[in-house]
A and B are shown apart, each in its own frame.
Chain A
Amino acid sequence: MTAGSAGPAAGMCFACGEPVGATDSFCESCGAELAPLSVSDGRDGGSPVCESCSSSRVSADGYCESCGRRVRSGRDHEEVDLGIVAGVTDRGLRHHRNEDAMALATAGTVAGPAVVAVVCDGVSSSVHPDEASLAAARAAAGVLLTAVRAGRDPLAAAPAAVRAAAEAVAGLSRTAGLVGDPPSSTFVSAVLTSEAAIVCWLGDSRAYWLATGPGSAAQQLTRDDSVAEELVAAGLLSEDDALASAQGHVVTRWIGADLTNPEPHVMRFEPPGPGALLLCSDGLWNYQPAAGQLAELALPAALTDPLGAARALTSFAIDAGGMDNITVVLAPFPVSADPMPRRRQP
């Protein structure tokens, strides 16, 4: 979009207050990136303060120097609200850090607003899984956002996004003399437009279509790359038994330097009616894998308040035990133009 084009004014620039067009990526007045990528990198937390005793002396290893409590790092709980898509990621109750990451963005296109979302879950048996998931989510979402802004086919952009994520993660293992499995992460991405959702994944982070009402059944869009899935597919175990088995949660495909050229799954899904797209890590679906049940938990709130619904699903997983890190991203469909894109919440 060039200056002086006839695009409808859709709001004002958050930086300079000048009007901006609905399909603008950058403010024509001051050049600010209007809808930058929002990544759960813990940077929005400000300088940490102990919640327990209010001391601001926090050690490099993340403990309060006065009362000893672990000080919540920025990544322990993060929320991103972009109006037409929102996400919550949480450490849960059992893990000492959050190894999940998410990256969200919105873009204006000639066909209307679009949503870009990536959820990654660091593989905890690898080294620095928290950095792996963050690097993968950031790199992949960046590629998808650029493609969507340029009007390119998201179906073709998805494998490129995975390659970018793989390179970013491989770069981590080159930085230090690491011992153990190289950093690795699961991956699920989605580009949601007014027409369809393009979903791409590796590992056991999932995408669901959530809907209620006749003829609009909720469904799981992804198939896990996991030992459990293989056991079920081979007819060896029921889904419940497979997930309960010791090896059930072992992923068979992932993003990491020890799996060169990962072949992602890519699929296109046309929503039959109103509903919401859900991306999540296994910290959520471990407690409720059924699409219909998840739809009941998320709807109808997700249609109008995706952040509220994402918080509710996160609380559901925490109340159910919070055994793993939890990440929930919700985008309502149809994608409506949000008049005032909100900034992410600290």
Chain B
Amino acid sequence: MSEPDFTVEIYQNEYLPEGGRDVNAVVTVATAGTAAAAPATAASSAEIIIVDCSGSMNAPPSKIAEARAATAAAVDVIRDGVAFAVIAGTHQAAAIFPSDGSLAVADPQTRESAKRAVAGLRPGGGTAIGQWLWLAHRMFTSHPAQLRHAILLTDGKDEHESSEDLGTAISLCEGVFSCDCRGVGTDWEVAELRRISTALLGSVDIVPDPAGLAADFSDMMAAAMGKQVADVSLRIWTPQHASIQFVKQVAPTVEDLTGRRAGSGPQAGDYPTGAWGPGESRDYHLGVQVAAAGAVGQEMLAARVSLVTASPAGPEVLGQGLVRAIWTDEEALSTRIDQHVAHYTGQEELAQVIQEGLEARKQGDEDTATAKLGRAVALAHQSGNEDTAKLLAKVVDVVDAATGTVSLKKKVADADEMALDTRSVKTVRTRK
């Protein structure tokens, strides 16, 4: 596997005032090349498409028809040599291609066979997403591929199992495969799919109109086909007695990785970032509190951020950056604000106030909803996050974007509210 070159850049104000202990930094990880660059050896990739076949997919019937078409479109994008399968999900899970529960190797014949099997999908039954994940896990782990990715489509709530059952299945799959989740229509639960996509390092989005599924599926599959390096982690070393306050991915979306730490040696822990292809760039926001402030003029390494991937010879370091702390009595230095850190602090708050505002709105707490969503409008306006600003404008009437003066709309389409919720985590980058 020819790996793209990784670069790690640190943006921070390394100067702390006397007594200061909190160090913030934005870590930008990027890979060289373009997405069209040489793909991974096909034999190291595996793909499973999981399609909801519950009874509700028949209402309206166009839903199952578009789901079949979308699955076929995604199958068409799978490169020759990639191991793949299709699962039909109801209150249980069934391997519909290959029907023996193995993975097929993609070629023109197997793709045709898979599409024929998909065309025969008939809705009926309930929804138990944990069951679908169990089967995908079993199929993936029976195959040696390193890059394992799934696409999961549902149109409804996870009704036919307990939340604990789903949680067990998610934990089982964590670190085994990544999963992009899509909800079609408006009868599914944003929080439920976000729980899966966050744990499995994938995306979540709404496809309000089934007609949009095919394009979305082939895009997702094309992105998956571009991945070359599996299981890349941020390895963060910190000084003794320092505490890591948070580790978050902040671009392209906000994903909190703080709780995902796996110890990896003295004073070091690994945070998963998933798979990478060429031409990618993601930003991470790191907060470290050192045990004791240094004297003015002293310098400390507050964190060493390494990018590591497992290789047969052991962990391989792909790149490294240093987060430093230098104590100064010069206010002009210590009060300087790094624009990347400030920007992403704002984008994290934006995602948070949208989710809190929508929750308050659901609970009927209009004052809180107005305040939170107003703050969101102001943050989106300041940071130039136009996509989020547009989504907000479908939920609130904006009186003054700069100050965040808004009033709640009386009637809001479910799809608009869900789109705002799912896409609240999408961030814009700083102008560099």
A residues in contact (CB < 8 Å) with B: 53, 59, 61, 63-70, 93-94, 96, 322
Contact = CB atoms under 8 A, between A and B. Distances in A.
A70 B267 CA distance: 17
A80 B20 CA distance: 36
B298 A66 contact: no
B299 A67 contact: no
Interface stretch (B128-136, B238-246, B377-385, B399-407): B238-246
Contacts of B297: 93-94, 322
Contacts of A65: 267
B301 interface: yes
Given A53-B240, A61-B322, A96-B326, A68 B302 contact: yes
B24 to A, nearest CB: 16
Nearest to B15: A94
Contacts of B299: 69-70, 96
B294 A69 contact: yes
B342 interface: no
Given A61-B322, A96-B326, A70 B242 contact: no
Give me the 4 closest cross-chain CB pairs, A-B, nearest first: A68-B239, A63-B301, A70-B299, A93-B297
Nearest to A93: B297
A69 B240 contact: no
B184 interface: no
Interface string B288-329: 001100101111111010000000000000000010001010
A177 to B, nearest CB: 16
A69 B294 CA distance: 8
Contacts of B238: 68
Contacts of A69: 239, 294, 298-301
B301 A70 contact: yes
B322 A68 contact: no
Given A61-B322, A96-B326, A67 B298 contact: no
Nearest to B242: A68
B25 to A, nearest CB: 14
Per DSSP, chain B at the interface is: loop
Given A66-B239, A68-B240, 8 more contacts: A61-B301, A61-B322, A64-B301, A69-B299, A70-B298, A94-B297, A94-B328, A96-B326
Given A61-B322, A96-B326, A67 B296 contact: no
12 contacts: A53-B240, A59-B301, A67-B239, A67-B240, A68-B300, A68-B301, A68-B302, A69-B239, A69-B294, A69-B300, A94-B297, A94-B328
A94 B267 CA distance: 28
Contacts of A53: 240
Nearest to B320: A61
A298 B99 CA distance: 91
Contacts of A94: 297, 328
Contacts of B267: 65-66
B117 to A, nearest CB: 56
Interface string B230-266: 0000000011101000000000000000000000000
Nearest to A51: B298
A59 B300 CA distance: 12
A58 to B, nearest CB: 11
Contacts of A67: 239-240, 291, 300
Contacts of B296: 93
A96 B326 CA distance: 9
Nearest to B239: A68
Contacts of A70: 298-301
Nearest to B299: A70
Contacts of B290: 68
A175 to B, nearest CB: 23
A268 to B, nearest CB: 40
Contacts of A96: 299, 326
Contacts of A68: 238-240, 242, 290, 300-302
B240 A66 contact: yes
